[in-house]
Amino acid sequence: MRRRGDRSAQQRGGGSGSATLDAVRSRGALLCGVSGEIAGFSLPDSRSAMQGMDADYCRAIAAAALGDAGKVRFVNLSAQNRFTALQSGEVDVLIRNTGWSLTREANLGLLFAAANFWDGTTFIVRADAGVQSPKQLDGAGVCVRPGTSTELDVADFFRTNGIRFTPVLIGGVTEVQEAFLAGRCDAFATDASQLAGFRWRLGAERAKQYAILGEMISTGPSGSMVRKGDDRWFDVVRWVHFAQVAAEALGVKGAELARHADSADPDVRRLLGREGNLGQALGLDNAWAHEILRQVGNYGELWERHIAPMGIERGRNALWTKGGLQFAPPMR
């Protein structure tokens, strides 16, 4: 009997059915495109280790594909160069707070694999500005990053409501945040989660000077992207996310895996590779999900690690069994 963690000859070498997966294994590392500037999603800590939901999604893919969550090379990408980097093969997967849309999927030669975060666009303003609603921003200067879905969201909102604004276009995440703090614009628009992380990093006292408007001007999912034409790799990236969500729904935590070692629940046994051949269907070892949970954790554990400290509630990112939108199809 093959021991947990051992790989078949086919999986050690080529023949996985995915050119990208084979390249990742040959290289010995996953090239994962992230922002590297967004708290809660991808931001280096004091030891230069990348931390966040997106960063841990990258690690989960590495755990599944390579058996080692540490075998990730993070590639910091801007909103302007992220798609080109994925198209050209500079990265194997893009997990960079990227909103899912028809034009992005239809025109870029790329596919969204999974929605790891449901978010929405809103504004942050100075607390003493007296602004309670986006509709009170008539004539305001609005800082926004070009080449993002936020840029279109803001333009659509002001046009729909018949009010004026002056866009202040600034490319980098850090640069646009600094511009807002310096007073170069009246409001800064981006994903609500990014605004929460931005204000959280200011510290408790300084954060009181700024207010995030509760009204969203758009909502939608963000997630992982891969190149079209490699269906097996698409499946791997998609089902890594589903495995983490399914594990949370089943009550299987990475920190408590030993408790489930002898579970009689067929769903748990299949998830952990104790019966069935789910891994083989993806070109992976049958312990792929076990390694994700052991080394990275389930979706809820990621949330508590990276998002909850910023004061963001689960909301639409709750499990589908609890009224949210995070779901996983049957693992069978």
Give 193-203 pLDDT, tens digit per residue.
999 999 999 99
Residue 3 pLDDT exceeds 90 = no
- For the chain, the average pLDDT equals 94
Q: Which residue has the tokens 């963000």?
A: 222
Cα distance between residue 278 and residue 47, in whole Å: 37
What local confidence, expressed as pLDDT, does residue 7 receive? 40
Cα distance between residue 28 and residue 62, in whole Å: 9
What local confidence, expressed as pLDDT, does residue 12 receive? 37
CA atoms within 13 A on the CB side of 8: 15
DSSP states of 34-78 as a string? E-SSBTTTBEE-TTS-EESHHHHHHHHHHHHHHS-TT-EEEEE--
**Which tens digits make up the pLDDT trace of 85-103?**
999 999 999 999 899 999 9
Rounded percentage of the chain residues whose pLDDT exceeds 90:
92
**Which tens digits make up the pLDDT trace of 217-237?**
999 999 999 999 999 999 999
pTM: 0.91
What local confidence, expressed as pLDDT, does residue 190 receive? 95
Rounded percentage of the chain residues whose pLDDT exceeds 70:
96
**Which tens digits make up the pLDDT trace of 273-320?**
999 999 999 999 999 999 999 999 999 999 999 999 999 999 999 999
What local confidence, expressed as pLDDT, does residue 4 receive? 36
What local confidence, expressed as pLDDT, does residue 8 receive? 37
What local confidence, expressed as pLDDT, does residue 276 receive? 93
**Which tens digits make up the pLDDT trace of 239-274?**
999 999 999 999 999 999 999 989 999 999 999 999
What local confidence, expressed as pLDDT, does residue 14 receive? 56
CA atoms within 13 A on the CB side of 295: 24
Cα distance between residue 172 and residue 195, in whole Å: 14
